[in-house]
Amino acid sequence: MRGQSLVTSWYDYPAAILGRTERPLLDWFAQNVRSGETWLDVGAHYGYTAIALARLVGSEGRVYAFEPMTSTAGCIARTRQLNRLPQLTVVPVALGYCESIAARELPEVRGMIDSTKTGSGGAEPFFIANFDWLWPRISQAVTNSTKVDGIKIDVQGMEIETLKGMFATLRRYRPKLVVELHKGVSRHDFLSLLDSAGYSRQGRPIENVPGEAEYFDDHSYAFSPISRANQENGVLESV
């Protein structure tokens, strides 16, 4: 990330300005993101990880940064221009589970929508869309392809809603998947949903954690798709 420009707030995101955040996740990206791929940064915040993804996929790839906080999404757009990253597309909506697109309100914390802070103060209006409905409408306009190679999700408690809205995409393309889990998200429901989508329940921690059996709040985990043959036979072996 050294040498890149980032439009952000010292109050909201000082660790990004100093380059002292998300190092394990950036290392995971370096090992798993390939040139020419299409990646989704769901919950992009100020675009710190979107920059890393855009650099790794290169000029032949695509990165879609989904950020529902309009002022924050505007910062990503400016960051995109400063770093000359035409492969990065900013989409100012949240992803969730609805018929198509809907309006919602949730608290805003440090430049991001945060469902874990419900009841903590003023609400921020934003739009939320079902990814499986939205994706063909935005991707084909840019690349004439709907294939997704990888997804990073950090959505402050809306993990299950987000995955439900992209269920068909997960089943069809089986992209690489890394999810940060947050307080209040049912691990049972989350893992059951992944299982139904064809992914292993055994997530690999991105950061160092005390043990592999538990899924800790505010930690990221990579989940691998199960081979189709093994899925049909009920064998939990990732590919």
Domain count along the chain:
1
C-alpha Rg value of the chain to the nearest Å:
17
Q: Is residue 8 part of a domain?
A: no
Q: What pLDDT sits at residue 114?
A: 82
Q: What pLDDT sits at residue 239?
A: 42
Q: Is residue 239 part of a domain?
A: no
Q: Is the pTM for the entire model greater than 0.95?
A: no
Strands 176-181 and 150-153: parallel
As a whole number of angstroms, the distance between CA 13 and CA 150 comes to 25
Task: Evaluate if residue 91 carries a pLDDT over 90.
Answer: yes
Q: Look up residue 222 and give its two tokens.
A: 């990579």
- Residue 47 — very low, low, confident or very high, per pLDDT cuts 50/70/90? very high
Per-residue pLDDT reduced to its tens digit, 102-140: 998 888 888 888 888 766 556 889 999 999 999 999 987
Of 101, 163, 106, the C-alpha closest to 129 is 101
Q: What pLDDT sits at residue 237?
A: 47
Q: Is residue 3 part of a domain?
A: no
Domain hosting residue 200, numbered range? 14-233
Q: Is residue 19 part of a domain?
A: yes
Give the CATH number of the domain where residue 21 resides. 3.40.50.150
CB atoms within 10 A of CB 232: 9
Q: Is residue 223 part of a domain?
A: yes
DSSP letter assigned to residue 115: G
As a whole number of angstroms, the distance between CA 206 and CA 31 comes to 12
Of 58, 33, 25, 68, the C-alpha closest to 150 is 33
